[in-house]
Amino acid sequence: MENPGLRTLTSFLEQVHRHAPVNFSTLSEERRRGYGMVSRYLKFCLGNDLITVVSERRTRGRYPSKEYALSERGLKLLNIFEEAES
């Protein structure tokens, strides 16, 4: 996947940080985005170690329910952009 837009990426990371631990459905509902878009952002952020999976549990569905939180690397990146905006 190509790099997502920087502004959208930082707002996604802020949302994960604000609601941590947050699950997929909550991210999708709050961002008012389809599951595909949220899934792509999660994949990008997990692949670049910007967020981590903090818990995983089996539910009735096909896939386990996971909760995400910002990693140290994601927090550093978020702080850099917050300082740049000030």
- Average pLDDT per consecutive 10 residues, the chain (86 residues; last block may be shorter): 71 91 90 80 94 92 90 93 78
> Given this model, what pLDDT does residue 73 score?
95
| Domains of the chain in sequence order | 6-85 (1.10.10.10)
pTM, 2 dp = 0.82
User: CA–CA separation, 32 vs 62, rounded Å?
Assistant: 23
User: CA–CA separation, 28 vs 86, rounded Å?
Assistant: 29
> Given this model, what pLDDT does residue 54 score?
96
Contact in structure between 72 and 30 (CB atoms under 8 Å): no
User: CA–CA separation, 41 vs 12, rounded Å?
Assistant: 8
